[in-house]
Amino acid sequence: MINRVRLPVAIAALMALQPLAAAGLSAAAPDQGAPAADPSAAPSDKKPDVAQSEADKSQKKICRSETPTGSIRPVRTCHTRAEWEAEAQQGQANKDQLNADRLRQQQLQTSHG
């Protein structure tokens, strides 16, 4: 019974340390051989450029959960802000084209009938 409890705890501990290992960091205390912080790498007091922060925002992924027609299972879709805006513009253009085609079809039907 004890082994059944220890294994999940050990797995949870390993999973908790996995991000540290992937980043090349260790769980050791800083005084146990970890290199000291480089003072030249300290963040500066300067504010980031507005253009740089806006560029970062435009590259940030935005995820949405959408349920496709005919399905009950939502699908997660991730795009940048620019990609979402381009998709919305394309959808609006498609809607406008369909409305124009429908109006043209109605005009043809009323003129011939």
Helices and strands, counts by H and E, the chain: 3, 2
**Which has the higher per-residue pLDDT, 89 or 45?**
89
Cα 104 from Cα 98, distance rounded (Å): 10
Q: Could you read off the pLDDT of 11-27 as tens digits, one per residue?
A: 666 566 665 555 554 44
Average pLDDT over residues 77-105: 96
Q: pLDDT band at residue 57, thresholds of 50, 70 and 90?
A: confident
Supply the mean pLDDT for the chain: 75
- Classify residue 106 as exposed, middle or buried by CB count within 10 Å of its CB (0-12, 13-18, 19+): exposed
- The residue that leads in pLDDT, 36 or 59, is 59
Does 81 have pLDDT greater than 90?
yes
**Stretch 66-75: mean pLDDT, rounded?**
95
- Look at residue 65 in the predicted model and tell me its pLDDT: 96
Structural domain boundaries of the chain? 59-113
For residue 110, what pLDDT is reported? 87
